[in-house]
Amino acid sequence: MTDETRKFLVPLAERGELRHEATTYGRSASELPLHVYGPVDQEAEILLMASVHGDESDTTVVLSDAMRSIRPGAIRNPVVLCVNPDGVLRGTRCNVRGVDLNRNLPTANWSPQPLRYRGHGQDKQEIVLGTGSAPASEPETQALLELIGRLRPRAVVSLHAPLACVEDPQSSPLAGWIAQESGLPLVPDVGYETPGSFGTWCAEQGITIVTWELPAEPLPALLASHVPVLQKLLTGCYPGRVAPRG
């Protein structure tokens, strides 16, 4: 940890409660509030988000741990702790309508065909989910797109699990720094097609997109390896600045 980051941290005894103010940016399909934390009244350099897939809730826990270690008012880059609260509460990859939100974006390659995915600990992509009745059919997708339209982030860092890599087809300096700091390999793709994905949509909009795939490790190991990197991203203590949107 650098001295620059340390000045933003609170004592361990004060890290039990999330003390940052939330702004509601929409509602889920079951009417749960969708919250964003940090500055929302200005254009963002980086938007961080977690739990696009509800069965990857460890991403929310890790990101929350980093946020709870930072004093109120010191978060520079906005955060969506849970894109898919309905899925997290049900332990499902999809939202309450059975739609994979990471295949519901209005991209040039969006497809109405059901997708097959590989569950945790499985070898084959055999579980079937929907992609929505139309591109951006889901309220969670609509709300996220509206939020991004307001914040106009130069980059988005999206936490997933458990592929243990940092994915960025452009190998941006931001992705390279995250890979180096976290000890994960930097890769151009995850090895399979992702029509209608958030990554594809960001690329089409000229937004740098870094998909940070946490490894399948016990939670204490995840916290030790990744929270210090997230603290730097949240407080702006990382080298350089993200290039303007293309």
- Which residues are marked as active site? 213
Beta bridge partners of 163: 215
- Residue of 199, 200, 194, 223 whose CA lies nearest to 211: 199
The SS3 of residue 49 is strand
Residue-wise DSSP of 165-180: EEE-TT--HHHHHHHH
Q: How far apart are CA 121 and CA 118, in angstroms?
A: 8
Contact in structure between 46 and 148 (CB atoms under 8 Å)? no
Strand (E) or helix (H) holding 67? helix 58-68
Q: Hey, how many other C-beta atoms are within 10 angstroms of the C-beta on 30?
A: 13
Q: How far apart are CA 58 and CA 232, in angstroms?
A: 19
CA distance 177 to 181: 6
HSE-CB at 194 with a 13 A cutoff on CA atoms is 17
Cis peptide before 162 (omega within 30 of 0): yes
- Give CA torsion, residues 15, 17, 21, 27, to 10 deg: 130
